[in-house]
Chain A
Amino acid sequence: MKKVMVGNHAVAWGAQRARVEVIAAYPITPQTQIVEKLSEMCADGTLPARYIKVESEHSAMAACIGASATGARTFTASSSHGLVYMHEMLHWAGGGRLPIVMADVNRALGPGWNIWTDQNDSLSQRDTGWVQLYCETNQEVLDTTIQAFRLAEMLDLPVMLMLDGFYLSHTAEAVDIPDQDVVDEFLPPRVSRHKLDVNDPHAFGALVRPDSYMEMRWLQQEAMRQVPRVLETIEADWNRLFGRSYGAVESYRAEDADLLLVTTGTVTSTARYVVDQRRAAGEKIGLVKIKMFRPFPTEQLRMALAGVDKVAVLDRNISPGHGGIFAEELRSALYDLPNEDRPQIYGFVLGLGGRDITPAVIDEVIERTKQGTESEREDLWVGVNS
């Protein structure tokens, strides 16, 4: 069934098709429509889930942790300061190996107060033990929401999926809502290995001594290491059932390119348009979209980028005192390539706080990369009126 819907509703439909059992959430712009839609679905019976109203995002994640610990399929959504407020609880979900799925609508952090999109909210949750997936279209948002539960539940890892504030959250596109029976085939009911059960009570999250703590973290990392392979099989299955797949990393018109753009989220769509124009003009330019940020897809990126002359990374985020976060992580991932295969990496910071990234902006990125010299590759800001 195809429907025209905004990205926020695509998330809600994804959660509904995944047969979520518990939702605990607190509203925040531009995420609110997600939980509004879900509360409507709970109220009208479309989604027979328990919807828990809470007084803060910290409590929302705490409630999700409790619910997920009992074995329930659990979902929440947040954004910006709400997500940042959850930070402590995100560690408890990650370390507790609870397969919670959360949608984060990417929104800048204040001050200055700003409701528009950038990625600093989710990227500052980098080390909480959550898988992070950045989406480009509303269809990808819906599909990823469902896939995220299977990934999370197979590996006992929480999964966060991102969509750009307003560019996806409030923009309507035609979206295919997959049939429930096919989704059921794709996503079986959750089977949990450790269950919080009042009739057989055990202490959860209790004291772990130095002789064991490190093993717990090692096993968490082991699970993270398996994500790329498991996601690949999940996507193959999804493709078999629905004829769509996205990949942790996607190359677009990258064959024989000597300059590749590296993008995330909705910037990718604009960049595809620019690439098409440049290709039509005979330039060897393509792009590589990074969907998965955690775990970082080092192997896939090495394969996608080895041997290219120049790579321009478009970072809609900033690590103050360092630079764009994707560029820095990518630089680190490609460092071990042989000298002859290692591309020059140009890190551009742009589009913060919702500033528009138009084809002209991307053209500027391409031109500056083409003209770039060895000494001017990091922390390159685009469009700043200084």
Chain B
Amino acid sequence: MPDILMHKTAVRGVPQVSVSQTSTLVTRTGSWKSIRPEYHDRMAPCNQGCPVGIDIEGYMNLLREGRVEEARDLLLAENPMPSVTGRVCHHPCENACNRRFLDGAVAIHAVERVLGDLADASPAAATGALPRVERVAVVGSGPAGLACAYHLARFGYRVTVFEAALQAGGMLRLGIPEYRLPRPVLDRAIARIVAQGQGVEIRCGARVGSDPTWSELTSTFNAVCVATGAHVSRALDVPGEALRGVQRGLDFLRDVNAGARPSLGRHVVVVGGGNTAMDCARAALRLGAAVTVAYRRTRDEMPAIAEEVEEALREGATLSFLANPVEIVGPAGSVSGVVCERMALGEPDASGRRRPVPTGERFTIAADTVLTAIGESAELDGLPADVTTSASGMRVEALGGTNRVALFAGGDVTDLERTVADALGAGKRAAIGIDRHLRAVANNENEATSADALRFGGGNVSAAQWTGRDPIRRVAPVNEVVGLDDLNLHHFARVPRQDDAHLSTGAAIAAFDEVNTGLTKDQAIAEANRCFNCGVCTQCDVCLIYCPDAAISHVADGEANYDVALDYCKGCGICVAECPRGALTMTRDRA
């Protein structure tokens, strides 16, 4: 105990207050504790949920501080085309965002779009990588192929991309309509990718397998990445599919996206419930048709992005649920209607969705044109003969490796998830796999690093962590994902999520202009201010302010931003309970 005595020098006029003469520092209250707080950053659920493997929390934090260019660069460290994903990604990050429990998820896609447009407007930033002599071929210039080329170029490699079509972009250009992804946006994104590192060469009109052949490719390049996509529309397999007026949805989209404006007749029936079906429906609406979407399950089971379904409905499409086409009918060789069987939802199937079961009831939907969009599969016949495939695509390891040395793959051609974001993530994994392989060959060593060491939680790998040039993290976050229970919502005021601006429905269906016009830069910064920064210390000082022992202080250059004076911390845990974002945890004191 300190010697608590009165001020002994008291004379008239000098105030006497009860203050100890000795410093209370002699009382090392920290010796009483058995647990203590520890700072370690944990994983934000958005980062874990992002198939691209973007440090979303990181760039939100930079943007919140007004460090716009650093935020952009952190985003570009992982995502080659944020202007594209900001428009077309199904944003699982937002479904994971903890803010959805308070007042709506952060509009991550819209922030990404603003930063992406900013990135496309400025020249490519240097990555600091030394040029490498090895050359890599990428087959296919869709999101997977471009992502692989982009990251390899940033790692220092010379990359050549072979594209069978006359323009680069793959499914982004062939499949996604302009009202979702204006072509100038895609062109600018590709131009920026081409300008990375020593440069990326894209050879259009070059179908690998014929010119050049696979063996020419593997002998000319040190490594090859296959990213040829999935371009084969699945057949309905019902009578009447050969009638005039029945078309594969992807073929229709390819024509429309190339500028064609085909005549569809009055009634169009789109079969399917995925994004291709929604793209077909909304494109047909813009061509003046009355559109009915026939889907054999209900809205809850639709694989399409929820916003796409909403937009299709708003623009006037009719959704006919529990409708399974069993026959396409028409006199004189032309389609006049689709006969559907009414379905009912039964037990869940392997995908977890309730399986549609037939009821026997039949009805007919009038149709002048039928567009089928029930899924795509990869063209596996043109691949090298000895690669391992499953029914749905090529088999790959965690970093894109195949059964053949120096042959990698990613994107829709593999048997993994088929979204733009997954393709970008797969392309990055393949790029890291190729870099790891080529460095191992060059240094004559084993391919040591595992993909798990680079992951964001259970999510994708980080290129910034792979290159060791992460611009903001001194220490990689612990792979524990922060949930709602780890946050202290009392420190956050309710601020509603900002919605993207949209064209009016009338203006939207009159042409193929972009419907979603996004957020402004200021709105994006305001959204970044809504980010909880789950699991990551933002130096908000709440712990320091709330510590009743004044045992927490700032540190300039440590692993953490604060130091806990363990001689005085009593282990009360107030800092941990008060931390708004779960960046502190209590641990057992070392005995």
Q: Which residues of A contact B (CB under 8 A)?
A: 95-97, 155-156, 193-194, 198, 200-208, 212, 215-216, 219, 222-223, 226
Contacts and interface: CB of A to CB of B under 8 A. Distances in A.
Interface string B11-34: 011111111111111000000000
Interface string B134-171: 00000000000000000000000000000000000000
Of B2, B5, B18, the most chain A CB neighbours within 10 A belong to B18
- Chain B contact patch, size range: 20 to 34
B23 A204 contact: no
B17 A198 contact: no
B442 to A, nearest CB: 55
Given A200-B23, A202-B20, 5 more contacts: A97-B17, A202-B19, A208-B4, A216-B17, A219-B15
Given A198-B550, A212-B5, A204 B15 contact: no
Given A207-B4, A212-B5, A219-B10, A201 B24 contact: yes
B15 A206 contact: no
Nearest to A223: B15
Nearest to A219: B16
B6 interface: yes
B16 A216 contact: yes
A278 B10 CA distance: 53
Contact of A206 (B14, B20, B25): B20
Contacts of B2: 202-203
A202 to B, nearest CB: 5
B550 A204 contact: no
B550 A216 contact: no
Given A97-B15, A208-B18, A216-B18, A201 B23 contact: yes
Interface of B: 2, 4-7, 10, 12-25, 550
A194 B19 contact: yes
Contacts of B18: 96, 204-208, 216
A204 B25 contact: no
A214 to B, nearest CB: 11
Nearest to A207: B4
B546 to A, nearest CB: 14
A95 B15 CA distance: 10
Given A193-B14, A212-B5, A226-B13, A201 B550 contact: yes
B4 A216 contact: no
Nearest to A222: B12
B23 A202 contact: yes
B4 A204 contact: no
Q: Tell me what chain B mostly uses at the interface: helix, strand, loop, or mixed.
A: loop
A289 B18 CA distance: 37
A219 B5 CA distance: 16
A53 to B, nearest CB: 13
A99 to B, nearest CB: 10
A73 to B, nearest CB: 16
Q: Tell me what chain A mostly uses at the interface: helix, strand, loop, or mixed.
A: loop
Contacts of A216: 6, 16-18
A197 to B, nearest CB: 10
Contacts of B22: 202
17 contacts: A96-B17, A194-B17, A200-B23, A201-B24, A202-B21, A202-B24, A203-B4, A204-B17, A204-B19, A206-B4, A206-B19, A206-B20, A207-B4, A208-B4, A212-B5, A219-B15, A222-B12
A73 B10 CA distance: 24
B4 A156 contact: no
B15 A193 contact: yes
Of A156, A193, A203, A215, the most chain B CB neighbours within 10 A belong to A203
Given A194-B15, A208-B18, A226-B13, A203 B6 contact: no
B201 to A, nearest CB: 57
Contacts of B6: 208, 212, 215-216
Of A156, A202, A226, the most chain B CB neighbours within 10 A belong to A202
Q: Across the A-B interface, give the 8 residue pairs with the lowest CB-CB distance, nearest first.
A: A156-B15, A203-B20, A97-B15, A198-B550, A212-B6, A201-B24, A206-B4, A208-B18
Nearest to B21: A202
Contacts of A155: 15
Contacts of A205: 17-18
B20 to A, nearest CB: 4
A222 B13 contact: yes
A67 to B, nearest CB: 13
Contacts of B24: 201-203
Contacts of B4: 203, 206-208
A215 B10 contact: yes
B10 A203 contact: no
A208 B16 CA distance: 11
Contacts of B14: 193, 219
B575 to A, nearest CB: 15
A206 B20 CA distance: 7
B19 A203 contact: yes
A208 B20 CA distance: 10
Nearest to A204: B19
A169 B293 CA distance: 70
A94 B15 CA distance: 11
A212 B21 CA distance: 14
Nearest to A154: B13
Nearest to A156: B15
A96 B18 CA distance: 7
Contacts of A208: 4, 6, 18
A205 B16 CA distance: 11
Contacts of A156: 15
Contacts of A206: 4, 18-20
A337 to B, nearest CB: 29
A194 B15 CA distance: 9
A379 B332 CA distance: 115
A280 to B, nearest CB: 48
A202 B7 CA distance: 12
A215 B16 contact: yes
A93 to B, nearest CB: 11
B568 to A, nearest CB: 9
Contacts of A193: 14-15
Nearest to A216: B16
A95 B13 CA distance: 15
Nearest to B26: A201
B455 to A, nearest CB: 41
Nearest to A99: B15
A204 B18 CA distance: 6
A202 B22 CA distance: 7
B141 to A, nearest CB: 54
A362 to B, nearest CB: 42
A155 B13 CA distance: 7
A156 B19 CA distance: 15
A156 B563 CA distance: 36
B549 to A, nearest CB: 9
A72 B7 CA distance: 21
